Amino acid sequence: MSILDVKNLQVSYGGIQAVKGIDFHINKGELVTLIGANGAGKTTTLKTLVGMVKIAGGSINFDGKDTTSIATHDFVRNGLVMVPEGRGIFGKLTVEENLQMGGFHRNDKDGIQRDIERGYELFPRLKERQKQLAGTLSGGEQQMVAMARAIISQPKLLLLDEPSMGLAPLIVEKIFEIIQMVAAEGVTMLLVEQNAKLALQVSQRGYVMESGKISMSGPAKELLDDERVRNAYLGG
């Protein structure tokens, strides 16, 4: 059963059409990846899903509801959560305060604290730095904060935009281990990632986006084995 259905989505910036009538869906419990070159429209698509960018046409149905008229600040409350490119953490708050912000819409204080402790289990380094200002952390640690905060918000669908960008290989490996672990616990995810090979290896299905359009889609393993995908995104 699909939790997200996107039909004929169109997005324009001024006179430029960035997204040109794309269709895609995500089923509950799936980890799906969206790959493509820089400028293909991937981040614009994610921002449109959470109301940060206005749609020019088409429809977005999330968890049985048309979301095109929902205010941006209500998306988290409805279970659609995004970890943006650049992480979007609160640099002048501590690690612990950032994680507490993940539960701002929740009323179960004990449950929030349990989920914060779960975040520390997933990312032990954050436990060591819980009183440290998040803005003083390394890029990898900030990504951990952003992901832990998103998980604490109890997403029905988690959007991840370039989680490996600018990170050292060992940190990327850790981040993707957590992505797989969270997916195994049943959290539905849509992943946008420049490292196409790594993204497809951890996903069930994938979409390839080129110049604002979906050019290919299918099981992730088939895309990994597709010569066109290998030549364009996997280094042959």
How far apart CA 112 and CA 102 sit, in angstroms, is: 8
Domain interval for residue 74 = 28-46+70-233
CB neighbour class for 98 (10 Å; exposed up to 12, middle 13-18, buried from 19): buried
Is 156 part of a structural domain of the chain?
yes
Is 5 part of a structural domain of the chain?
no
Is 206 part of a structural domain of the chain?
yes
CA end-to-end distance (rounded Å), the chain: 35
Contact 119, 75 (CB under 8 A): no
Mean pLDDT taken over the chain? 94
Is 58 part of a structural domain of the chain?
no
Pairing of strands 16-27, 205-210: unpaired
User: What amino acid occupies position 174?
Assistant: K
Please compute the mean of the pLDDT values over residues 112-141 and round it to a whole number: 95
| pLDDT for the residue numbered 1 | 86
Is 154 part of a structural domain of the chain?
yes
Question: For residue 101, is pLDDT > 80?
Answer: yes
What's the structural domain count of the chain?
1
Is 115 part of a structural domain of the chain?
yes
Domain of 102, CATH number, reads: 3.40.50.300
pLDDT digits (tens, 9 = 90+) for 167-216: 999 999 999 999 999 999 999 999 999 899 999 999 999 999 999 999 99
Model pTM score: 0.93
